[in-house]
């Protein structure tokens, strides 16, 4: 990790610990997660204890301590999607990717998440891959989606 880059982000906020969430958000945007050595640097530069830093990181669900996959798959489990079989879609993704919700494949290709609503109930059940919505999902669509996204074809 380039600590100079981290230092510049911190300096942008005048090394003010009240800007911690903004600092962490910008760092995560840069690296896609919050590496341990980076967190140590932030605590050091802001002169705050690591326990305070981890308190913030663990409180906000947006912050990640592990790298995410190239493709983040979010399966909607809102009421409309639930009624239309979203749990089965989620299970199919877990089966095919051999991971559970909240996990990332070993090759860092896919991360699987569940969400309460994606705001497109008429398309349910819905999955979202990065910023793209995939509506009216079923097991066949899960399989073809993963094959299309997988460069190795192993999913």
Largest distance between two CA atoms of the chain: 53
**Tens-place pLDDT, residues 41-100:** 999 999 999 999 999 999 998 899 999 899 999 999 999 999 999 999 999 999 999 999
Segment 133-154, tens digit of pLDDT: 999 999 999 999 999 998 766 6
The token pair that represents 94 in the structure block: 């877990």
Alpha helices in 15-66 (DSSP H): 20-31, 36-46, 50-59
Residue owning tokens 């326990």:
51
What is the chain's Cα-based Rg?
18
Report, as an integer, the average pLDDT of 103-130.
94
Class of domain 71-149: alpha beta
The ranges assigned to domains in the chain are 3-59, 71-149
pTM: 0.75
Q: Which residues contact 36 (CB under 8 A, 6 or more apart)?
A: 65
């Amino acid at each position: 990790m380039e600590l100079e880059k981290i230092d510049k982000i911190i300096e942008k906020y005048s090394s003010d610990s009240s800007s911690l969430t903004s600092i962490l958000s910008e760092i995560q945007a840069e690296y896609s997660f919050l590496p341990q050595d980076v967190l140590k640097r932030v605590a050091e530069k802001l002169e705050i204890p690591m326990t305070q830093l981890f308190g913030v990181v663990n409180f906000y669900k947006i912050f990640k301590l592990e790298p995410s996959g190239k493709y983040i798959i979010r399966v909607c489990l809102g009421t409309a999607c639930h009624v239309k079989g979203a749990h089965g879609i989620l299970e199919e993704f877990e089966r095919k990717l051999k991971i559970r919700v909240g996990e990332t494949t070993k090759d860092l290709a896919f991360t699987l998440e569940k969400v309460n609503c994606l705001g497109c109930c008429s398309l349910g059940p819905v999955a979202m891959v990065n910023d793209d919505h995939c509506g009216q999902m079923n097991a066949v669509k899960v399989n073809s989606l993963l094959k299309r996204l997988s460069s190795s074809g192993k999913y």
